Structure formats: C-alpha cells, structure tokens
Amino acid sequence: MPQTPLKIVALSGGLQRPSRTLVLVEELIEGIAQAIPVESRVIEIGNLVPQFGAVLYRPQLPAAVEEALVALESADLVIGASPVFRGAYSGLFKHFLDFVHHDALIDKPVLLAATGGSERHALVIDHQLRPLFSFFQSHTLPIGVYATDRDFENYQVRSELLRARIALAVSRALPVLRQLQPQAERTAAPRPQLHAVA
C-alpha cells in the first residue's frame, strides 16, 4: 500500500528574491522527496512581512498569516532556515515564530538550516536556531545545514561539499521521518467482519 505523504512545511527567513536561503530549503525538500513521499509548502517570510511586521498579537493577524501559522503548527516536519543577520537569525524570522503557540511544536522534528556570508557564522545553527526551537520542545534533527555565499552561483548550489552536507542531513533525518509515515493499511479503519447467523 502507498505511504501517506509526509507534510513538510519550511519557514524560509529570506527577505528578498532571489534568495539563497530559499534555494537551500528547496534542495532539502527535494532530497527528502527523493526518498519518501512528501507534500511540501514553503512559507517565505519576505512575502508575509508587510502583513505581520507591525502586528503584536496573533488575533490581530490577517487571514493569510494565520493560515501560514496553522500550516506550520500542523506540519509533520518543519524546516527552519534563516539568513544570518548580525550573528543570529533574522529578527523577522523570530517575529513570525513569536506568534506560534508555545505547545504547537512539541516533539515535532525540525531540520535546521542557515545561510551566511562566511564560515565564521556556521555556529548559528547550534548557538541560535537550536535553542530557539528547544524553547518549543521540538525535536531538532542532529545535522543542520549551513551554506555560505561561495556555495552558490547564480542562486544555484554549486558546491559539492554543500551537496554532501545536504545529503548527510537528509540521511540522518530519514529514520525519524519514516517513523512518522505509517503505511496506509495501518491507518485505515478495520472493516467489520460479517458473520452469518445460523
């Protein structure tokens, strides 16, 4: 029986297009999709900023932003990716996550990724992103992916080392993700057995 597609929702913190962060997110989704069936969605912070940037409380959010939050909260897997600003994730990336209910991501697998101008920011994944999702009690996956500007050419991945890192992150994530994918026959309700009455 076919597997139920894994629902992946990626939060890409890039504020403009083209975006290296978005490219990295798409490569991660593609890597997972080559191994297991997925249904994916990318939430681009840059597209939503005009609608939530000045909002303080979730009930004040417009419908499009609320719908994006619900999608993130209901995902099977979250990919959290941000460009590095001043040594940390972007403020607007964090502002969006400030609207997420504090219980919504408990035990949810989160694959972390970031892009920056140089290797000196590589620890942003473990020093900034991992603690952020630890607040939500999420299950941050063991291998995150950091990429620098040199890993891209014309907003396409050109570095074999980055490709290898993406492949490693995906391979380490798959055992966790496969546990989220029960076979269709396991989730289907059993049919009642009809017995003839003598």
Q: Quick check: 45 and 88 in contact, CB under 8 A?
A: no
In angstroms, the CA 103 to CA 87 distance is: 27
Q: pLDDT of 146-156, one tens digit each? A: 999 999 999 99
Q: Where do the structural domains in the chain lie, given as residue ranges?
A: 6-187
In angstroms, the CA 162 to CA 157 distance is: 8
Q: Quick check: 112 and 76 in contact, CB under 8 A?
A: no
Listed as ranges, residues in the chain with pLDDT below 50 are 183-198
Give, as one character, the DSSP assignment of residue 76. Answer: S
Q: Quick check: 114 and 125 in contact, CB under 8 A?
A: yes
Q: Quick check: 125 and 28 in contact, CB under 8 A?
A: no
Q: pLDDT of 96-116, one tens digit each? A: 999 999 999 999 999 999 999
- Report phi then psi at 116, rounded to 5: -155, 170
User: What is the pTM (predicted TM-score) of this model?
Assistant: 0.89
- Report phi then psi at 41, rounded to 5: -145, 140
- pLDDT of amino acid 182: 60
CATH superfamily name and code, 6-187: Flavodoxin domain (3.40.50.360)
Tokens of 77: 């897997």
Contacts of 146 (CB under 8 A, 6+ apart): 113, 114, 115, 116, 121, 122, 124, 125, 165
